[in-house]
Amino acid sequence: MAAPVAAVARRLRRPIRRSPAWQGPSRRPASTKPPPELQSSAVRDAFLSFFRDRHGHRLVPSASVRPRGDPSLLFVNAGMNQFKPIFLGTVDPRSEMAGYRRVANSQKCVRAGGRHNDLADVGRDLSHHTFFEMLGNWAFRGEYFKEEACSMAWELLTQVYRIPEDRLWVSYFGGDPKIGLDPDLESRDIWLSLGVPANRVLSFGPQENFWEMGDTGPCGPCTEIHYDLAGGVGAPQLVELWNLVFMQHNREADGSLQPLPHRHVDTGMGLERLVAVLQGRCSTYDTDLFSPLLNAIHQSCGAPPYSGRVGAADKGRIDTAYRVVADHIRTLSVCIADGVSPGMSGAPLVLRQILRRAVRFSTEVLRAPPGFLGSLVPVVVETLGNTYPELQKNSAQITNLVSEDEATFLASLQRGRQIIDRALRRLGPSDLFPAEVAWSLSLSGDLGLPLDLVELMLQEKGVKLDFAGLERLAQEEAQHRAQRTKPEQEQGLHLNIHALGELQRQGVPPTDDSPKYSYSLQPDGGYEFGTCEAQVLRLYAEDGTAVASVGAGQRCGFLLDRTNFYAEQGGQASDRGYLVRVGQQDVLFPVARAQVFGGFVLHEAVAPECLQVGDQVQLHVDKAWRLGCMEKHTATHLLSWALRQTLGPNTEQRGSHLNPERLRFDVATQAPLTPEQLRRIEDTVQEAVGQDEAVYMEEVPLALTAHIPGLRFLDEVYPDPVRVVSVGVPVARALDPASQAALQTSVELCCGTHLLRTGDVGDLVIIGEHQLTKGTTRLLAITGEQAKQAREVGQSLTQEVEAATERLSRGTQDLGEAQRLSKDMGRLTEAVDTAMMPQWQRRELQATLKVLQRRANTAIRKLEMGQAAKKSEELLKRHTKGPLIVDTVPAESLSVLVKVVRQLCTQAPSTSVLLLSPQPVGSVLCACQVAQVREAGEHPTPGSSRSSSLILYLLFLPDKKARAEWRCPRGHLRIGIGQFPFP
């Protein structure tokens, strides 16, 4: 029976993992009756009370779903995330966490984006979620291990939750001969001793029952408890309930496994699945964690009641939509409460996708009214708010943000539907959906639809997308982006001197781009950007030829009489967005770039349909892209001001460039900036941001700007009139010759687009600094949420370095521990070198780690010398005669083995030595050195001896032979390499 059950278990096993365990239960027989139905809150409380009251665990609160100082994660996706420093041995000994021994909690987890991503599966079945709660208990540093962990888990499930024992199955690690790991028979025997029948104890390989934190780091075998949904009727239907991980190894960079200095227990059990079992439900969506939401959805939408159907049985995908909306509003509420808001990159981008997916299902499938998603937030707060009070605290903010983003996307979704439907009407029965149309939707940024959503909408209509065409367009776009990174070359579409001359001869007026400044700050703190209506004056093919019209799929450039797009200039990236023909809102022309040539703004686009000279169009800028540029541009002015405050008023800017991701600033410097200077520059910017001052912008005659005291002029040609940007001081006041206000704040000539208040910058962090040329330093900086995360990463790494310093100061007499400490220094150094963090902090930590690495290496050398001396003495006692010593020696590294050989040869100069040291990973180290010899008549003066040394690395092959690799540092030695018949 074990073989088919194993297949069932593999098929049904869910990816929910990671949480801890504890001690031994009494052996009262468990009830065979179904457990009484418990409310989810009672299930959660029973878990926490069990570990706290019966087994002395400390209850710790859930960490935020926003990872703190861990750039490898988009979201916290497992209960163990917050305890990584303990597992890695990097916890600050002065921190509260350093005192943890046995703890338990219910951790908020999000699995969307990144390595663990369940987003696409949500709604399709009855169990997937993007947000779930992980019940977990942990034992650190050997507080308890396998027997106690298994016993506690069995006691809780069978005696507290009263789950019938005959419905529980367990699996354990069956070993892995490839890496020399034996089966975890200890866990197997523990389960058997607890009364689990042998036919319900299953063995699996490393894919199922060996858990690893990552490519390197702590890992170990795990044992899992499964619940049989079939209840003994027919074949077992197993679903994973609880995973118990036994951290006892460390995966090294070379792939080998080494024992950890301390063993840990890390277990995890999904609350939603446990509640479904205890409430006798076959689906997590049928529990009281979701039923209030499903009822609220039904009441608000008027759709048929939720009935739990899936696949083909779910006509119209009504039940799928119920599940998607219920899951996603929980995720949105929890994430926003923890400080993650929908955005354009990283975790915020994933959250944006989740919100848009929820909006689409609610409107297209459930026919929900506008504002529907926001109305569900109070239901989430009522369900989870008592356990996670941050939901109650931020309820109004969550509702407002969800409602605003919902309204924004609804407009885009409506336009997207019209575009898709219009294209579908033109298709034949077997035609693919045009790549150009899908591409136009995806390129419209904040106002458009992502390609995966377009694909999903087409799947529902039974239409396939032209992926080959999409690949071609993506490659073309990548080529154009690559060309634009080479400023010394003429890139893409442009207006040359002949084209400009022709425009002037024909009397075409320069483009009126003043509408690019038409935006305002709303009472709720958001920015509103108006649209702009214009006429197509000229069209250009990709080769620069003027044409009367362009067709579908054609990359083109066009001039308009007016535009609200910012054309790339002054170091600011151009706007992106789209245009539509007036009266035809269902065809988007995505504008990827705008450039200015002699006053004419040339827009670049890929036309999804025909566009003609004379067409009336309406332009929409990509709001998120524009806001990112505005944020970085205002930050650039503040950075320039901070540099002058720190380095002196004569500090000169040598160039800058910015886009929504980051800003680059080149400054003339006499010497490289010190960490203290970098820190003071950031502090100055932070102060200006914290004051949340108004940013004033006004066009004035160029001649008047000569009277502004201390005004900084760049080596640029300025228009007349020129735009003045002043922080905190009205432009009229800054222009007053008697005013010294411009000396106390940032006042610059600038045609870029800016925020209207400095507080909207959020924060600024300089993440990179290097000498571009002699006398010029290049700074790289980020702002807003990125800056906040960079500070958290810097703080986290600082704590790790402080913990490593403390470990090193305590010293150790164990060579293995010293080597692990040295490896940790190397890992930390690599992390500090590559992390996105404050540059001043990076430089300080790099200096500290350099000193620590030297100290760690010195300690290793001393311990190796001590070990070598001890081992050589033992060998000399065993080998008192003869010119040759051949023996095996336990050695943790080749370095120790070589030191032993050299010490033996020093103490017994006439003896040749060959030593072997078997290694736990299946290899053998070998080192040898021949006796010192003298030529006939040569006097034995120091340094006159000639010796040859041979170092071999022997690796067992499957045929029991050995391959030898060698090097001879001095002299000559002839050796025949044959077969080494080691057992």
- The 10s digit of each residue's pLDDT in 778-825 is 999 999 989 999 999 999 999 999 988 988 888 888 887 888 888 889
- Say yes or no to pLDDT of 851 above 60: yes
Closest CA relative to residue 138, chosen from 59, 85, 248, 75: 59
Check residue 441 and give its pLDDT.
80
- Say yes or no to pLDDT of 455 above 70: yes
Residue % of the chain over a pLDDT of 70:
87
Q: What is the mean pLDDT of residues 762-766?
A: 96
> Tokens 């070359």, residue?
489
**What mean pLDDT value characterizes the chain?**
84
The pTM (predicted TM-score) of the whole model is 0.68
Check residue 877 and give its pLDDT.
84
Check residue 131 and give its pLDDT.
96
Banded model confidence at residue 13, pLDDT cuts 50, 70, 90: very low
Same fold, 508-621 and 626-693+757-878: no
> Tokens 């949480």, residue?
19
CATH code of the domain made up of 33-288: 3.30.930.10
Check residue 448 and give its pLDDT.
62
**CB atoms closer than 10 angstroms to residue 677:** 17
Letter for the amino acid at 619?
A: L
Question: Which two tokens mark 139?
Answer: 């034992």
Banded model confidence at residue 710, pLDDT cuts 50, 70, 90: low
Closest CA relative to residue 580, chosen from 554, 533, 618, 613: 618
Banded model confidence at residue 412, pLDDT cuts 50, 70, 90: confident
Instruction: Specify the higher pLDDT residue, 234 or 22.
Output: 234
Q: What is the mean pLDDT of residues 672-693?
A: 95
- The 10s digit of each residue's pLDDT in 292-310 is 999 999 999 989 999 999 9
Q: What is the mean pLDDT of residues 933-946?
A: 45
SS3 853: helix
754 labeled part of a ligand binding site: yes
222 labeled part of a ligand binding site: no
637 labeled part of a ligand binding site: yes
- The 10s digit of each residue's pLDDT in 716-762 is 667 788 899 999 999 988 888 777 777 889 998 999 999 999 999 99
How far is Cα 843 from Cα 848, in angstroms, rounded to an integer? Answer: 9
- The 10s digit of each residue's pLDDT in 343-361 is 777 888 889 889 989 998 9
Banded model confidence at residue 22, pLDDT cuts 50, 70, 90: very low
**Is the dihedral angle over the CA atoms 856, 861, 862, 863 positive or is it negative?**
positive
Q: What is the mean pLDDT of residues 526-552?
A: 93
Least confident of 665-674, 681-690, 716-725, 934-943: 934-943
633 labeled part of a ligand binding site: yes
- Say yes or no to pLDDT of 963 above 60: no
Q: Beginning with the edge strand found earlier in the chain, give each strand of the sheet holding 923-929 in spatial order.
A: 884-888, 912-918, 923-929, 949-956, 962-967
SS3 390: helix
Check residue 712 and give its pLDDT.
64
How far is Cα 875 from Cα 873, in angstroms, rounded to an integer? Answer: 5
Check residue 445 and give its pLDDT.
55
Q: Could you tell me which CATH class the domain 508-621 is placed in?
A: mainly beta
- Say yes or no to pLDDT of 7 above 70: no
Instruction: Specify the higher pLDDT residue, 623 or 586.
Output: 623
- The 10s digit of each residue's pLDDT in 571-595 is 899 999 999 999 887 788 999 999 9
- Say yes or no to pLDDT of 635 above 70: yes
Q: What is the DSSP string of 811-843?
A: --S-HHHHHHHHHHHHHHHHHHHHS---HHHHH
- The 10s digit of each residue's pLDDT in 59-106 is 999 999 988 767 778 899 889 989 988 887 767 666 788 899 999 999
Least confident of 212-226, 364-378, 600-614: 212-226
Domain ranges, ordered by start, for the chain:
33-288, 307-424, 427-477, 508-621, 626-693+757-878, 879-932+949-960
Least confident of 137-146, 345-354, 624-633: 345-354
Banded model confidence at residue 18, pLDDT cuts 50, 70, 90: very low
CATH code of the domain made up of 626-693+757-878: 3.30.980.10
Phi, psi torsion values for 27, nearest 5 degrees: -100, 40
- Say yes or no to pLDDT of 444 above 80: no
